[in-house]
Amino acid sequence: MSETSLLNTSLFPAIEPYRHGMLEVDDLHTLYWEECGNPDGQPVLFLHGGPGGGTSPGHRRFFDPAHYRIVLFDQRGAGKSAPLGEYRQNTTALLIDDIEKIRAMLGISQWLVFGGSWGSTLALAYGEAHPQACLGFVLRGIFLCTKGEVDWFVNGMKNFYPEVHQRFADAIPPEERGDLLQAYVKRLFCDDPAIYMEAARNWSRYEGSCLFLEPQAQAIADFESDEVSLGIGRLEAHYMLNAAFMEEDQLIKHIDKISHLPAVIVQGRYDVICPPVSAYRLHQAWPAAKYHVIGDAGHAAMEPGIAAELVRATEQFKSHGKFL
């Protein structure tokens, strides 16, 4: 059976939203949101990665639509939210406030929180700020946004993808390659579209080339597209430059705020973007959380083994209110 067939076997059938809209959250940002599945079902919040990655129709398929009231939204500067790639008035605290505005707008008291990669960062930060609103957590490809993780993303991935990293670095003049993050920031945040779009495509291609255990041409092409790369490039650099607007290791230090809640951690063994050490550290700090390492997977949620484990988690929570 092909990987596509395995993936489709794991996921629920494609669905369309029964309701969607735009929510103005301040004088600059308007967010796209949608609801799918059962309007009277158990609420679940999907938090996309990046930052800046946006949601996609495939993200709806991790949840049984007969059981779950599935809420998805594009974070500030991402996807269908406007303005695309906007990094001003864009911080973790503001994203957390946005989530609470969406929860209040939809009249939801509590929800299961599901997030991968940057979505896991935001899920943890949101949970620690508003534990009373959370039923539990499904977390994948853990990113805690520590200095070490940022340095790994910008420099360390060359140990596994040297040719990909070389292309990423070659887009910067030799005299600026000693600090690639600052060099990209200089270009991504300039006012010239020709310069910042090229930088965004280079940044986004770099990540897209390392997502899967076996690189996927379509994923790389998607990440190179203007509508994806501007959000990914600008916002990832923005949040990495500012340590996600958190103190160092904040998410681990404050894990006691949510450690009484059920959680599952799903991690690809060969995740080069968010190496397993971060997921392992989170599990050590939160031993009650279930911890599943997928032996034949990289970073992407759509790796067949990861997708199957994520669906298994949402099915367990549906049936038991916890993870087994």
Residues marked as catalytic:
117, 271, 299
3-state SS string for the chain? CCHHHHHHHHCCCCCCCCEEEEEECCCCCEEEEEEEECCCCEEEEEECCCCCCCCCHHHHHHCCCCCEEEEEECCCCCCCCECCCCCCCCCHHHHHHHHHHHHHHHCCCCEEEEEECHHHHHHHHHHHHCHHHEEEEEEECCCCCCHHHHHHHHCHHHHCCHHHHHHHHHCCCHHHHHHHHHHHHHHHCCCCHHHHHHHHHHHHHHHHCCCCCCCCHHHHHHHHCHHHHHHHHHHHHHHHHCHHHCCCCHHHHCHHHCCCCCEEEEEECCCCCCCHHHHHHHHHHCCCCEEEEECCCCCCCCCHHHHHHHHHHHHHHHHHCCCC
